[in-house]
């Protein structure tokens, strides 16, 4: 590529990876694709580095390009040199440079966010608020909450995710999103005393195993557990009925969360949804009736609804 005044060249051997880069996992398939591109076209975007007091350069952006260059045996790569940051600035820059990318693995990113939080607390004498931490990491507050929730997951569950992180995401059978959904669902059941606290890990482990065996394939299917818990809370269904379905879910390797939901609360859950919809519709129709004007289209829709309601009530 053509060199400009702010672009230099350096040997890949003079450059080392940044230990504060949250993207600790680099999938082999992605690297091979990038190597093929670089072999054909060269490195089109310079690596961003800083000059280290220890000698050489440290990466700020471009680790995949740097790894590919080393693999291909390139003698020179284009670089843009930035001033050396402090440790906390380095982490903040890592987040700021990469915050638009979706290929970071959540677990190492969560660990790096925790380090940023601790460094801020050491520097300022108090931990950052959620809003401050979001600004430091160039993330939304929702993303900060999600990453912090990841670190609250049981270590034995996180270890299973770590064991799969070398695989391409499309081939991973277990991710932190699976774990978050599983633990939230189990927590909801425990809160309503459907399961005892000592049974929670067992349920979570079974669901994780079912994801890994592909008995469960939808990441969000465990959300049905929370709907089962809410049905118990509303007294729409007995705690014993839901517990029986959960027992079947745990004991039978072929039973899915949707199966357990269907046999326990699906009907009453659907009725509750309709009930809430009717209440909202009634409020809206009441507001319309005060105006005294109803369009022909709306009248037709209301008459159709009236007929449907009459049929349902006539069958009951």
| Spatial distance between the Cα atoms of 190 and 198, rounded to a whole number of angstroms | 9
pTM (predicted TM-score):
0.76
Provide the 10 A C-beta neighbour count for residue 69.
Answer: 24
Q: Categorize the per-residue pLDDT at 21 as very low, low, confident or very high, splitting at 50, 70 and 90.
A: confident
From residue 257, give the alpha-carbon distance in Å to each of 51, 182, 193, 248: 54, 10, 18, 10
From residue 239, give the alpha-carbon distance in Å to each of 166, 185, 235, 236, 248: 42, 15, 8, 9, 14
Average pLDDT, the chain: 90
Same domain for 1 and 60 = yes
Same domain for 36 and 62 = yes
H or E element in which residue 307 lies: helix 296-315
pLDDT tens, residue by residue, 141-163:
999 999 999 999 999 999 999 88
Q: Categorize the per-residue pLDDT at 218 as very low, low, confident or very high, splitting at 50, 70 and 90.
A: very high
Same domain for 73 and 34 = yes
Residue 25: pLDDT above 90?
A: no
Q: What CATH number does residue 65 fall under?
A: 3.90.1530.10
Q: What is the pLDDT of residue 4?
A: 44
pLDDT tens, residue by residue, 77-99:
999 999 999 999 999 988 887 76
Q: What is the pLDDT of residue 99?
A: 65
| Spatial distance between the Cα atoms of 35 and 74, rounded to a whole number of angstroms | 11
Owning domain of residue 140: 87-152
Residue the block writes with tokens 């669901």: 207
Same domain for 286 and 249 = no
| Segment 15-29 mean pLDDT | 79
Domain boundary among 59, 84, 109: 84
Domain boundary among 84, 104, 139: 84
Q: What is the pLDDT of residue 223?
A: 98
| Spatial distance between the Cα atoms of 77 and 57, rounded to a whole number of angstroms | 12
Same domain for 130 and 78 = no
| Spatial distance between the Cα atoms of 90 and 154, rounded to a whole number of angstroms | 29
Which residue intervals of 125-265 are DSSP H helices? 130-136, 141-151, 155-162, 176-191, 197-212, 223-233, 239-251, 257-264
Q: Categorize the per-residue pLDDT at 29 as very low, low, confident or very high, splitting at 50, 70 and 90.
A: confident
Same domain for 12 and 62 = yes
Q: What is the pLDDT of residue 3?
A: 43
Same domain for 238 and 146 = no
| Segment 45-70 mean pLDDT | 93
Indicate the number of domains in the chain.
4
Look at residues 264, 214, 221, 259 and name the one whose alpha carbon lies nearest to residue 243.
264
Q: What is the pLDDT of residue 102?
A: 54
Same domain for 167 and 229 = yes
Same domain for 7 and 43 = yes
Q: What CATH number does residue 104 fall under?
A: 1.10.10
Same domain for 170 and 148 = no
| Segment 235-250 mean pLDDT | 97
């Amino acid at each position: 590529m053509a060199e400009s005044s702010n672009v230099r060249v350096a040997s890949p051997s003079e450059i080392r990876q940044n230990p504060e880069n949250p993207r600790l996992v680099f999938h082999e398939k992605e690297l091979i694709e990038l190597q093929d591109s670089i072999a054909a076209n060269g490195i089109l975007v310079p690596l961003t580095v800083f000059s280290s007091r220890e000698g050489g350069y440290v990466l700020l952006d471009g680790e995949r390009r740097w790894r590919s260059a080393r693999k291909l045996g390139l003698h020179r790569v284009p670089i843009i040199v930035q001033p050396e940051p402090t440790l906390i600035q380095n982490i903040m820059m890592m987040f700021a440079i990469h915050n638009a990318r979706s290929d970071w693995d959540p677990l190492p990113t969560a660990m790096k966010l925790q380090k940023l939080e601790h460094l801020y607390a050491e520097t300022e004498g108090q931990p950052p608020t959620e809003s401050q931490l979001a600004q430091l990491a160039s993330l939304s507050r929702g993303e900060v909450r999600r990453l912090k929730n990841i670190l609250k997951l049981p270590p034995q569950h996180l270890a299973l995710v770590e064991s799969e992180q070398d695989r391409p995401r499309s081939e991973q059978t277990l991710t932190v999103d699976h774990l978050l959904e599983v633990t939230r669902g189990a927590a909801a059941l425990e809160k309503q005393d459907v399961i005892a606290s000592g049974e929670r890990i067992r349920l979570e482990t079974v669901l994780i195993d079912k994801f890994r065996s592909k008995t469960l394939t939808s990441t969000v299917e465990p959300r049905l557990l929370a709907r089962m818990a809410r049905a118990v809370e509303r007294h729409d269904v007995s705690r014993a009925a839901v517990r029986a379905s959960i027992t079947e879910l745990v004991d039978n390797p072929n039973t899915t969360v949707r199966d357990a939901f269907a046999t326990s609360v699906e009907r009453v859950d659907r009725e509750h949804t309709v009930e809430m919809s009717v209440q909202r519709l009634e409020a809206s129709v009441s507001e319309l009736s005060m105006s005294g004007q109803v369009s022909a289209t709306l009248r037709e829709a209301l008459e159709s609804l009236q007929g449907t309601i009459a049929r349902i009530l006539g069958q009951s």
